[in-house]
Amino acid sequence: MIVRNVKDKEVLDTTYLAHGGAIAQMIFDRRTLKEIGFLAIATLSPGKEIEAHVDPMEEIYFVASGSGEMHVDDESRQVGPGDATWIPVGSSHSLFNNGNEDLVILVIASPAW
DSSP character at residue 11: H
CA atoms of 26 and 31, how far apart (whole Å): 10
Residue 112 has pLDDT above 80, yes or no: no
Strand partners, 69: 78, 96
Q: How confident is the model at residue 14 (pLDDT cuts 50, 70, 90)?
A: very high
Q: In order of start, what are the domains of the chain with their CATH numbers?
A: 9-111 (2.60.120.10)
Of all residues in the chain, what percent carry a pLDDT higher than 70? 98
pTM of the full predicted structure? Answer: 0.92
Does the structure show a pLDDT above 90 at 12? yes
Average pLDDT over residues 4-11: 95
pLDDT (tens digit per residue) in 30-52: 889 988 999 999 999 999 999 99
| Cα–Cα distance, 21 to 97 (Å, whole number) | 10
